[in-house]
Structure 1
Amino acid sequence: MTLRTSCRWLLLGFVLVASVVASPAWSTPGSHVLVLGRVSDDPKAHYGQLKPLLDYVVARMGDVGITEGRVLMARDTHQMQSYLRRGRVDWVTETAGSAMLLEARGGARPMLLTERSGVSRYHTIYFARRDSGISSLDDLRGRSVAFQNRQSTSAYIVPAAQLLERGLSLDILLSPHDAAEPASVGYLFARAEVNTASWVHKRLVDVGVLSNIDWDNPRRVPASFKRDMAIFARSPEFPRALELVRGDLPPRVAARLREVLLEAGTDPAAANALASFFGTTAFLPVDPRTRGELDRLRAGALRVAAEVE
């Protein structure tokens, strides 16, 4: 990221919060303020998705002293980890892989599992052209793969961790025209799901990875592409998204926030806010099954961060 791009991103983040808060977003909030955070590459769009539910929650937390809400964006998980450690953010909504990095490195505590469009878990699918000769993950040595971006659980963290578990090393490529080394798997970031499908279809890369939800979305994988491609591997299921709180958030505030979110799924007054909140349909407790899935995901995310990035 260039200095000019960084400055523009910070300016946009400030503009988004300036209309709803009197002090800058990076100032330490008071005990009456609940700060909702999100790692974002599109802060303007995400602000509109986050603010309605934050307003709904704040209106129901007066009994624990919360009277104001703010949204705080971070460029990446490293910045969000810093916000958590310094108490600048109270509640974070994230995909499961990024959430586990925030737990491990930022001291965040998973609070609830987030169900989106009626789905609380999903998995990664690996696909290639039918004529590629690829039939398993073991065939990827010396091949190229398109991930989505570094924040994606299903299209980066999970597949990268699975490849490392199989003894495959990962090396970033300069472009789709760059060849992978014979002993490793070359990778690039396609940024958008439709780009991943297009790159595989056009033979720019050998393999693409997406969530099963994106694979089934014709806007992201057009039927004309899918006819020439096939799924050759899948990951185990993992949680779709999580709500977290900072580790030192006062217990009574954390407990009330959890209560309000659990009740929101059946409250008609929350329907529009939940729809804006990434199509959320319910918040669910983190049960032993979910905790086990998160522990495996956490180990994989930390390995990817240590060995690939």
Structure 2
Amino acid sequence: MIASSARLRAVLLAMLVAAAVLPVAHGSEEDHVLVLGRISDDPNAHYRQLKPLLDYVVPRMADVGIREGRILMARDRKQMDSYLRRGRVDWVTETAASGMQLQMGAGAEPLLVTERSGVSRYRTVFFARTDSGIASLEDLKGRSVAFQNPNSTSAYYMPALTLIERGLPMEILLSPRDRPVADSVGYLFARSELNISTWVHKRLVDAGAMSNLDWRSPQRVPDLYRRDMMVFHETPEYPRALEMVRGDLAPAIKARLREVLIAAADDPDASEAMLRFFKTTRFLPLKEEDERSLALVRAGVKRVGSEIE
């Protein structure tokens, strides 16, 4: 009896070891599920933004085997990289810089450009007070510039790349009171566009960088501030947002998802879902100019990561 129990335990242990080393496949019972992912610091709010569009898309993909939709949040980009590589997420909506990071880190592919509030492309503007003596990027040597946060395309990656390409060394500052050395540009993060414009207007920093859309927004740059400030440099345009898919997503599913999203702009049944989806107005095919712009953004992400961070 004791020997029999010992043999049983040995068999069970062998089965457990074998199960532990077997690869876990994404397919089989999960092939009918479309998973929409999001890097989020507010999962509840983002779930409410994502779910209506996912509910719209899933029934229109039954012809390629999709019968269910799920949402999976990631706490940061590294976790989303893991989800994409392991096939746990199929589709992600992101900014251009984050999308390129997911491409480099997890092999994700741009599927469509996302037009939000009628705008599919935007650019970064550098601005300063009119009495600052700053008229060009070169005038930022020995001065300070405020960005938004380390994940922003328009208010970090693209302006930082612009400065690097001009041969301007950059150093992070401890606070607005801190100053850079004479031949470099000091930078720090203000956390919001309104803070950026306030810091510039109050002379806490010498310059700021944000998207041209935010520059025109009274909520982010109050009219009282704007009349004392001016734009002294603008970057080329780049896509405002992207829909990304994992690189090994089945071609039929990828193609159908692309079709459904492009057609959604002309479907009244999709209007409310698209409005909730970050005020999306259309999903657009990538053009050659988008590909060129994304190559620039990708280069910017790499250079900023290697030369600054």
TM-score if structure 1 supplies the norm length? Answer: 0.88
CA distance in 1 between partners of 2:38 and 2:65 (Å) = 23
- Is the aligned partner of 1:204 residue 2:204? yes
SS at match of 1:247: coil
Q: Who is 1:115 aligned against?
A: 115
Q: State which drifts further: 172-181 or 252-261.
A: 172-181
**Over 6 Å off, 4+ runs:** none
What is the letter of the counterpart of residue 212 of structure 1?
N
SS at match of 1:55: helix
Which aligned pairs between 1:47-62 and structure 2 lie closer than 5 A? 47-62=47-62
CA distance in 1 between partners of 2:250 and 2:240 (Å) = 27
Report the Cα offset of residue 237 of structure 1. Answer: 0.6
Q: Who is 1:77 aligned against?
A: 77
Q: Who is 1:276 aligned against?
A: 276
Which aligned pairs between 1:169-180 and structure 2 lie closer than 5 A? 169-180=169-180
Q: Who is 1:146 aligned against?
A: 146
Q: State which drifts further: 30-39 or 69-78.
A: 69-78
Q: Who is 1:14 aligned against?
A: none
TM-score if structure 2 supplies the norm length? Answer: 0.88
Q: Who is 2:228 aligned against?
A: 228
Q: State which drifts further: 183-192 or 219-228.
A: 183-192
Q: State which drifts further: 72-81 or 197-206.
A: 72-81
CA distance in 1 between partners of 2:280 and 2:44 (Å) = 19
SS at match of 2:179: coil
SS at match of 1:264: helix
Q: State which drifts further: 289-298 or 230-239.
A: 289-298
SS at match of 2:266: coil
What is the letter of the counterpart of residue 203 of structure 2?
R
Report the Cα offset of residue 28 of structure 1. Answer: 6.3
Report the Cα offset of residue 195 of structure 1. Answer: 0.7
CA distance in 2 between partners of 1:197 and 1:250 (Å) = 46
CA distance in 2 between partners of 1:297 and 1:52 (Å) = 30
Percent of residue pairs identical: 64
Unaligned runs of 5+ in 2: 1-24
Q: Who is 1:132 aligned against?
A: 132
Deviations along 1:13-71, whole A, 9 cap, x unmatched? xxxxxxxxxxxxxx968212111112223322222111111111112112222122122
CA distance in 2 between partners of 1:199 and 1:28 (Å) = 49
Which aligned pairs between 1:25-36 and structure 2 lie closer than 5 A? 30-36=30-36
Deviations along 1:191-214, whole A, 9 cap, x unmatched? 111111111111111111110101
Deviations along 1:87-134, whole A, 9 cap, x unmatched? 121001011111111112210011001111111111001011111111
Which aligned pairs between 1:238-257 and structure 2 lie closer than 5 A? 238-257=238-257
CA distance in 1 between partners of 2:223 and 2:230 (Å) = 12
CA distance in 2 between partners of 1:206 and 1:38 (Å) = 35
Q: Who is 2:18 aligned against?
A: none
Report the Cα offset of residue 286 of structure 1. Answer: 0.9
CA distance in 2 between partners of 1:234 and 1:82 (Å) = 35
CA distance in 2 between partners of 1:40 and 1:156 (Å) = 19
Q: State which drifts further: 165-174 or 122-131.
A: 165-174
Please say if residues 126 and 208 of structure 1, whose CA atoms lie closer than 8 Å, have aligned partners that are also in contact: yes
CA distance in 2 between partners of 1:304 and 1:41 (Å) = 23
Unaligned runs of 5+ in 1: 1-26
Q: Who is 1:15 aligned against?
A: none
Report the Cα offset of residue 162 of structure 1. Answer: 0.7
- Count of aligned residue pairs for this structure pair: 283
What is the letter of the counterpart of residue 78 of structure 1?
K
CA distance in 1 between partners of 2:38 and 2:191 (Å) = 18
CA distance in 1 between partners of 2:104 and 2:239 (Å) = 17
